Amino acid sequence: MSPSAGARVFAGIADRYDRLNRILSLGRDQAWRARVVARLPAGRLLDLGAGTGAANPLFGDREVVALDPSPEMLALDDAPHRVVGMGEALPFADASFDAVFSAYVFRNLESVSATAAEIARVLRPGGRAGIVDLGRPRHRVLAAMHRGATAVVLPLAGATIGARDEYAYLHRSLDRHPPPEELFADTALEVVETWRMGPFGFVWGAILTPRPMARR
């Protein structure tokens, strides 16, 4: 998650980003986040790629630290602790968090492997990471249908808020983003559970834990 990727792409539309995402998800984006948050332990939580803080109402009484590479996004986040930073180099000590949450971020990362290693490093023993993101449906025919739809719908939707290029980028990023079972196969995080959500199952949730060898 670097300034050259997701941060720069969406910085200019920070104040409109969440509103359009709610429209595109037919109002289900918070429900998708909530299914992940419900599976995470209590305590101190890192919201990795927090953006404008859309998930904050779901965290309950957890102590939340919001991290994002985009100062423009983070300025709109009402979390009490906000840090500008990248997933590939988390500015936190080892074993600092009971949970890490991340929504719609991993397809924008410069290095999934480096970010997974950093998440494993900052999680306390027994800690878990919960991730929700987008991809193509598993079924080949549904994936083709979804690809055709997003090629038209996403740029048009983006154009309504002056962000056609940003949402054309989102369409392209879906083809580069494998399912979580593949995404984390050779990383410091081990998949505990995955599930699919949304039309055609194009949204996925995953719960992960550090592999034993990832502990430092």
What are the DSSP calls for 53-87, one per residue? TTTGGGSTT-EEEEEES-HHHHTT---SEEEE-BT
Band the pLDDT of 199: cuts 50, 70, 90.
confident
Predicted confidence at residue 107, as pLDDT, reads 81
Q: How confident is the model over 32-75, as pLDDT tens digits? A: 999 999 999 999 999 999 999 999 999 999 999 999 998 988 99
pLDDT(117) > 90: yes
pLDDT(178) > 70: yes
Q: How confident is the model over 130-164, as pLDDT tens digits? A: 999 887 666 665 555 555 555 656 656 556 656 56
Report for 15-19, 82-86, 104-108, 175-179: range of highest mean pLDDT? 82-86
Q: What are phi and psi of 198, to 5 degrees?
A: 80, 170
CA 154 to chain centre: 18
Residue-range domains of the chain with CATH: 3-136+177-214 (3.40.50.150)
Predicted confidence at residue 170, as pLDDT, reads 65
- pTM, entire model: 0.80
Predicted confidence at residue 2, as pLDDT, reads 41
Query: For the chain, what is the mean pLDDT?
Result: 82
More confident residue, 148 or 206: 206
3-state SS, residue 95: coil
